[in-house]
């Protein structure tokens, strides 16, 4: 996919006639942090302790959903149990503790440089995540200093990805419309959400999910790494920020 083809497809899908990039809406797990390995481990531990069958791989597919939605879905499908909001919140607290106990996840290679380059080009960055993992939120300003103008997290949304709500909230926080926003994602449900919100949605393969799966979910463009993304940024900006 060339950048020119990608923007033509975007115009066809959204009906927009122009693009004027002002805002990057940036996912957290798998984009800022190499955290999915620990999330999937923590999820399996929580499910096993509660007698719910699962595999580690399946949790990569749920990436982007809120913790509460994952818990409700797994308990319903795995044990026929309807979990209340309060029960889901309590179970999510346990999962968050398991996650914290696994140590601090590494940063995704190249994301900081990419976001700094975007900021230098006059593009504001807004964090958009379905996560409620406080131990990561506490690190962001230190690991990504002066990058984010606003944050949308699980506390701000009713419906997680693939629903477009998190990205629509991110657009509102940035005072931007779809044809002013670039979404940066690594997972199919997140790509679906960005695409449905009418944003130009870029997928980056930072884990086991393939390029093909991200295009299938609706990505306008997919890069193999953050460094590849940064290398193409000047060309992308001539098209998205004329
Ligand atoms: Ca993600």
Tens of pLDDT, residues 101-112: 999 999 999 999
pLDDT of residue 145: 97
Q: Given a cut of 90, is residue 113 above it in pLDDT?
A: yes
Read off the pLDDT band of 87 (50, 70, 90): very high
Same domain, yes or no: 128 and 221 = yes
Task: Identify the pLDDT of residue 109.
Answer: 97
* Span from the CA of 93 to the centroid of ligand 1 (angstroms): 20
Q: Count of domains in the chain?
A: 2
48 and 68 in a single domain? The answer is yes
Instruction: Examine the pLDDT at 161 and tell me if it is beyond 90.
Output: yes
CA of 159 relative to ligand 1 center, distance in Å = 16
Whose CA is closest to 184, among 154, 214, 216? 214
156 and 235, same domain (yes or no): yes
Q: Quick one: average pLDDT of 36-53?
A: 96
My answer on whether 231 and 118 are in the same domain is yes
Ligand 1 mean position, distance from CA 150 (Å):
18
Cα(128) to ligand 1 centroid in Å equals: 10
Q: Are residues 121 and 236 in the same domain?
A: yes
Pick the closest to residue 206 from 38, 25, 30 (CA basis).
30
- Enclosing H/E stretch for 211: helix 211-216
pLDDT at 17 over 90: yes
Q: Are residues 165 and 115 in the same domain?
A: yes
- Judgement on whether residues 96 and 123 belong to the same structural domain of the protein: no
* Predicted pLDDT at 218: 98
Tell me the CA–centroid distance for residue 63 and ligand 1, in Å.
Answer: 6
Are residues 40 and 27 both part of a single domain?
no
From the CA of 6, how far away is ligand 1's center (Å)?
Answer: 21
Instruction: State which of 83, 101, 119 marks the end of a domain.
Output: 101
pLDDT surpasses 90 at 242? no
Distance from the CA of 18 to the center of ligand 1, in angstroms? 28
Mean pLDDT value across the chain: 96
At 42, phi and psi to the nearest 5?
A: -65, -40
Domain boundary among 84, 101, 118: 101
Q: Can you give the residue range of the structural domain that contains 222?
A: 3-35+108-240
User: Measured in angstroms, how far is the CA atom of residue 203 from the centroid of ligand 1?
Assistant: 10
Per-residue model confidence as pLDDT tens digits over 182-220:
999 999 999 999 999 999 999 999 998 999 999 999 999
CA dihedral 105, 109, 110, 111 (to 10 degrees): -20
- At 69, which CATH number? 1.10.150.240
Distance in Å, CA 87 to ligand 1 centroid = 25
Question: Which of 101, 128, 147 is at the close of a domain?
Answer: 101
């Amino acid at each position: 996919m060339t950048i020119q083809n990608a923007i033509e497809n975007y115009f066809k899908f959204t009906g927009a006639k122009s693009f004027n990039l002002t805002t990057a809406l940036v996912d957290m797990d798998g984009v800022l942090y190499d955290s999915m390995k620990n999330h999937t481990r923590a999820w399996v531990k929580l499910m096993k302790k509660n007698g719910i069958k699962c595999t580690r791989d399946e949790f990569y597919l749920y990436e982007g959903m809120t913790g509460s939605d994952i818990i409700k879905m797994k308990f319903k499908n795995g044990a026929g149990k309807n979990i209340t909001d309060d029960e889901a919140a309590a179970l999510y607290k346990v999962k968050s503790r398991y996650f914290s106990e696994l140590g601090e996840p590494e940063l995704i290679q190249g994301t900081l440089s990419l976001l700094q380059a975007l900021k230098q080009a006059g593009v504001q960055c807004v964090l958009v995540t379905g996560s409620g993992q406080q131990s990561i939120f506490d690190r962001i300003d230190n690991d990504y200093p002066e990058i984010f103008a606003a944050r949308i997290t699980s506390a701000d949304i009713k419906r997680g990805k693939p629903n477009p709500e998190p990205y629509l909230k991110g657009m509102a926080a940035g005072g931007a419309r779809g044809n002013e926003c670039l979404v940066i994602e690594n997972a199919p449900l997140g790509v679906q959400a960005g695409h449905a919100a009418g944003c130009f949605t870029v997928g980056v393969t930072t884990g086991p999910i393939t390029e093909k799966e991200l295009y299938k979910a609706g990505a306008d463009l997919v890069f193999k790494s953050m460094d590849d993304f940064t290398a193409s940024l000047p060309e992308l900006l001539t098209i998205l920020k004329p």
